[in-house]
Amino acid sequence: KMGKARPWMLWPYIGCAVTLVACFSIPESWGHTAQYIFFFLSYTLLNAVFFTANNIAYASLTALITKNTSERVQIGSFRFIFAFGTKIVIEAVTISAVAWLGGGVFGWRMIAIIYAIIGLITNTYSVFSVKELPEEEFAEDEASGENKLTFLQSFKVLLKNKYYVIICCSYILTQLYASVIGMGTYYAKYILGNEKAFSTLSLAINITMVVALTVLPIVIKKLGGMYKLNIWGYGLAALGRVGVMVAAYMGSFPLMLAFTALSTVGIAPLQGDLNALIACCSEHTTLTTGHRLEGMMYSCSSLGIKIGGALGTAICGWLLDAAGYIENATVQTVSTVNMLNFLYLWMPVILCAAVGFLLVFLSVEKANEKLLAKKTENV
């Protein structure tokens, strides 16, 4: 009676809370091997099992509680406004809070417990504060008697939706982008000569993202859709990262900050309307095949995070290692400096351009309009 997504959003988060605390509760009396196994199991259950189940269900609600595209964009925008806002708060208070709670293992364990409780309360409130649309709302879009598929059949149907494949690839590239931007901590330490500079750059990204997401629904409403805004946005993002590169070679940190913020303005539209785009892709599958696959459709976000994040972190590590990176060295080799310049300055430009190119083919809104118009004519 709770619907398709809400039960999967509710119960797995209890697992999230337990395993989050478990990650910071490794038995100190155990041997190193046992401790590593304990952490590996806790961390894997947290991220690959419980969070994945919760997050896919949470994202799927965008398509299940409203069929209005404008409302879906608003939902996505608010989601990421609070995500980035919370990120700013967490980064600002956690270290001090751990110290205030006594520091060390105990301090980290206590902060994990506090965050787990906050997560449980907010997640549970979210589950019971919304209702999914009744099945009858979607019945007219479905082919009678054809909406029961096996997992393999569902996967094949997904792959036939070219827009789903484009979004998956875009998600992977955006996670690769996040990984190379994360290399800024090394760039700040070894090239800018100031580790704290990365925090300032991150703050410029997070604050700009929150502000941009606030006005996003209004902008999309005025433009009458997401398609052009996303393409223009990533064009602006690529241009902004070129500006960051030029400013870096000029040695101007204030200009780097300004162009970082400009690039973030360009990235914000896709960040905020991605949930709505996935909902459009799900609708496209229903219109063309008669099958509703919201859960599997929204899995592309989790899939992109896992593949893109893992690949991005691994590739950055391999490239730094190949360049001769020496951990905690006062001065790095010339090849390492060149590699850091490539990863933090050049790669973001390439990735923004690649995402922008993919978005040119993501005209799912227009495709759905044509299908609906054709369906109306037939009626």
Reading the chain (379 residues) residue by residue, the pLDDT tens digits are 788 889 999 999 999 999 999 999 999 899 999 999 999 999 999 988 999 899 888 888 888 888 887 888 888 888 888 888 888 888 888 988 999 999 899 999 999 999 999 999 999 999 999 998 887 666 555 544 445 677 788 888 888 889 988 988 998 999 899 999 989 889 998 999 888 888 889 889 989 998 998 888 888 888 888 889 999 999 999 999 999 999 999 999 999 999 999 999 999 999 888 888 888 888 888 888 888 777 777 777 677 778 888 898 899 999 999 999 888 788 888 999 999 999 999 999 999 999 999 999 999 888 988 888 887 776 5
- In the chain, the N- to C-terminal Cα span, in Å, equals 32
Cα 368 from Cα 376, distance rounded (Å): 12
Q: Determine the pLDDT at residue 136.
A: 67
Q: Radius of gyration (Cα) for the chain, nearest Å?
A: 22
Q: Determine the pLDDT at residue 107.
A: 94
DSSP state, residue 361 = T
DSSP state, residue 76 = H
Calculate ∠ Cα 6-7-11, nearest 5°: 120
Contact 276, 294 (CB under 8 A): no
Phi and psi at residue 149, in whole multiples of 5°? -125, 155
pTM of the full predicted structure?
Answer: 0.78
